């Protein structure tokens, strides 16, 4: 468990981080601090990475209580906001490494979607990766993680609070798989 002062410092740095700012059609308008984008109800870009192991199990994780959006919720995807000057693919690779410690796993893109909820408006790009490397959790962002079958993931979604934007990403992925 991380120290509360470390979590507060991480959150302040995260809120000051400059992220991609876009319009309703995903046209880039520039970059803004994350907290300003959220506070003004503007639209950013985000990535969602569905991490599977070679048995086809999906990595689910629980977000820390210090997260600004969906604290303590279960999440079916790693990911985060696309940084200013960063592509969706660059962001996906960075986020997968930062949150779960997975590097150099080939990423496959499955499409994009618009998510619009108060405090969380974004264009999301959905990626998947397969890796059996050990998970290395980022303590400021991830409380716990495990691999589950898709059926177990569907049960988790019914029983626990889960990030709605990631659930939309999972639905897009599953629809693309047929």
Average pLDDT over residues 93-114: 97
Query: Residue 82 carries which DSSP code?
Result: P
**pLDDT band for position 68 (cuts 50, 70, 90):** confident
**pLDDT band for position 16 (cuts 50, 70, 90):** confident
- Asked if 38 contacts 119 with a C-beta cutoff of 8 angstroms, the reply is yes
Average pLDDT over residues 162-170: 98
pLDDT tens sequence across 115-154: 999 989 999 999 999 999 999 999 999 999 999 999 999 9
Which pair of structure tokens corresponds to residue 126? 């959905």
Beta bridge partners of 112: 125
**pLDDT band for position 3 (cuts 50, 70, 90):** low
Q: Name the nearest CA neighbour of 33 among 7, 51, 54, 15.
A: 15
pLDDT tens sequence across 21-46: 999 999 999 999 999 999 999 999 99
Q: What is the pLDDT of residue 6?
A: 52
pTM here?
0.91
Q: What is the pLDDT of residue 178?
A: 80
Q: Percent of the chain, pLDDT > 90?
A: 88
């Amino acid at each position: 468990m991380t120290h509360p002062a470390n979590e507060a410092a991480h959150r302040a740095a995260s809120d000051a981080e400059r992220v991609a700012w876009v319009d309703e059609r995903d046209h880039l308008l520039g970059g803004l601090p994350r907290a300003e984008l959220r506070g003004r109800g503007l639209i950013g870009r985000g990535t969602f990475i569905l991490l599977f192991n070679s048995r086809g199990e999906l990595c689910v994780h629980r977000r820390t209580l210090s997260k600004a959006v969906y604290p303590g919720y279960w999440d079916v995807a790693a990911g985060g906001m696309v940084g200013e000057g960063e592509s969706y693919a660059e962001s996906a690779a960075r986020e997968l490494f930062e949150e779960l410690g997975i590097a150099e796993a080939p990423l496959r893109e499955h499409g994009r979607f618009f998510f619009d909820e108060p405090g969380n408006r974004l264009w999301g790009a959905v990626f998947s990766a397969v890796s059996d490397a050990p998970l290395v959790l980022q303590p400021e962002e991830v409380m716990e993680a495990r691999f589950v079958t898709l059926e177990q993931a569907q049960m988790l979604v019914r029983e626990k609070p889960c990030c709605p934007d990631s659930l939309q990403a999972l639905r897009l992925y599953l629809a693309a798989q047929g």
